[in-house]
Amino acid sequence: MSRLPLVDGVLKYIREKNISFCMPGHKGGLGFLKTGKGRELYNNFIKGDITEVDGLDNLHHSEGIIKESQQLLSDYYGSIKSYFLVNGSTSGNLAMIFSSFNEGDKIIVERNCHRSIFNGIIMRKLKPVYIKNKTHSKYDAPLPLDKGHFLNLVNENKDAKGIVVTYPSYYGICFDLPYVIEVAKKYNIKVLVDSAHGAHFGANKLLPENPLKMGANMVVMSAHKTLPSLTQTAFLHVGKGVNISKVDFYVSAFLSTSPSYMLLCSMDYARYYIQEYGESDYGELIKLCVLYREKINSLGKFYIIGEKDLQDATLNYSHGSNNYTIDLTRYILNVPKGYSGHKLLKYLRVNKIQAEMSDSRNVILIFSPFNTQEDFQNLYIVLKNCDMNDLKDKYISLMKYDIPISTMFPYEVMDRKKTTLQLKDSENKISAVEIVPYPPGIPIVVPGERLSKKTIAVIEYYVQCNVTVLGINNGKVATVEK
């Protein structure tokens, strides 16, 4: 008999009835069962797997129900125009980059951006200048943009056409975006925001504000990460100062010509849900998050990082504070030095709790209004019963390093002949790949940057500590000749 490994694997996972503290935001369909319309949609998803049949609409030339739904989306988020994306935030990031910049433009980019941003930079043949990201020395957690470094970069690159930032980070940490937008406007620099993890922002006053309301030019949000929407769905919002006709073209170019109405309907429902229930439901969720943060911290085993922890004096810049804030619907669950975040994640999974991700000292949990108090209580009990001896591990400090010297732009690397060398023999060679230790997930090197003796030493440190380093295979790295 023919096998069904994918089907069997998914069905096995479903039968195990894990508690979801990870994506997607509907938490196993519970988000759709919240309302009458949601339940009806939930019961008819397969029947709704249709495309542009007579009487409906066409995503690439909307004139009816899709157009009306996207207008409601735009009205809620406060954009000039909003789009449904059926190819995820990746398609939105590519559409933002292609519609905002021309080949050869210089842009300023956060070093911790999603890989789709780096891919867009290569595809559009842009000239990136990188904003260096830091890590919190006490908790070994990656931090967003540093205002002092950002200001210096802008002053040195006033001819940049745009700034691409991530808000919030995967860890739910937010920087002072209004400050960045204010500085950018002085020099007529566009601000593009990858807000994949912020589709719920602005729903409640205790959450960070939606970037559109702050004045961003373009914003991408993953509907499925935090809202009741199917995986692969996202929103693209356009603010002021953007050529809508170019956005129309590139959105269409990067989307499937056979969009499923299952995905489209789930995005319409996500907007409906957050508009009708977001303020109250997120208020209740935040109460639970705060309550159990205190309970878990009181165990004396783990520590959930809070906003006050981010206001470390060593993170201030010369003109004041970085003003980092945090999404209260997300936990950065930290373990002490000498214990492993990866082992904690494995322990949680064995106990039927699915967290989003881990690094050497942190586990990330993402909540939505469809997580119940019972879910939080189960998390608390599992953590209370955890034998910390099982989490012991060698402490790996996160290395501090400078961004390497760029000798060619990333797009120039694509057509060059590649040579694979032992990492130890690659000094002064130009990297053909991104080299990214995980954690913290921030590139040490991007294509076109020179591998110096110090850079190689940092990479070797992570490899020797058994950290996964993307771009290094069996001790070798791909390089190019200039």
User: φ and ψ at 30, to 5 degrees?
Assistant: -60, -30
d(CA 85, CA 456): 40
pLDDT in tens, 173-211: 999 999 999 999 999 999 999 999 999 999 999 999 999
The residue-averaged pLDDT of 18-28 equals: 97
Asked whether the predicted pLDDT for residue 304 surpasses 70, the reply is yes
Judged by DSSP in three states, 256 sits in coil
Measure the CA–CA gap between 469 and 457, rounded to whole angstroms.
Answer: 13
Model confidence at 298: pLDDT above 70: yes
Rounded distance between C-alpha atoms, residue 353 and residue 164, angstroms: 34
Task: Report whether pLDDT(314) > 60.
Answer: no
Under a CB-based contact definition with an 8 Å cutoff, are residues 190 and 163 in contact?
yes
Which residue in the block uniquely carries the two structure tokens 């023919």?
2
Residue 30 scores a pLDDT above 60: yes
Contact 73, 84 (CB under 8 A): yes
**Model pTM score:** 0.94
Check pLDDT > 90 for residue 466: no
Two tokens at 339?
């214990």
pLDDT value at residue 398: 75
Looking at residue 438, its pLDDT comes to 72
**What SS3 state is found at 163?**
strand
C-alpha to C-alpha distance for 236 and 89, rounded to whole angstroms = 8
Convert the pLDDT of each residue in 435-445 to its tens digit. Answer: 988 766 788 99
Residues in contact with 472: Cβ distance below 8 Å, sequence separation at least 6, in sequence order:
423, 435, 459, 463
**Mean pLDDT, range 108-125, rounded to an integer:** 93
- Asked which of 166-175, 320-329, 365-374, 468-477 is least confident by mean pLDDT, the reply is 320-329
Q: Are 119 and 144 in contact (CB under 8 A)?
A: no
Quickly tell me which residue has 């997607």 as its tokens. Answer: 24
The DSSP bridge partners found for residue 445 are: 435
Q: Which is higher by pLDDT, 269 or 357? A: 269
Nearest CA to 420 out of 482, 462, 472, 461 is that of 472
Indicate whether 470 pLDDT > 60: yes
Give the pLDDT mean for 375-404.
92
Judged against a pLDDT cut of 90, whether residue 321 lies above it is answered with: no
CA nearest neighbour of 331 among 318, 344, 313:
344
Sheet strands side by side (includes 476-480): 418-422, 476-480, 430-431
Q: What is the pLDDT of residue 320?
A: 61
- DSSP character at residue 404: P
Residue 326 has pLDDT above 90, yes or no: yes
Q: Which residue has the higher pLDDT, 159 or 51?
A: 159
Would the pLDDT of 315 be above 80? no
Question: What's the rounded mean pLDDT across residues 122-133?
Answer: 94
Q: In this predicted model, what pLDDT tens digit does every residue of 256-265 receive, in sequence order? A: 999 999 999 9
Q: In percent, how much of the chain has pLDDT > 70?
A: 98
Handedness of CA 155, 156, 159, 162 (dihedral sign): negative
What are the helix (H) ranges across 101-243? 115-123, 147-156, 177-186, 211-214, 223-226
417 has pLDDT over 50: yes
Q: Is the pLDDT of residue 313 over 50?
A: no
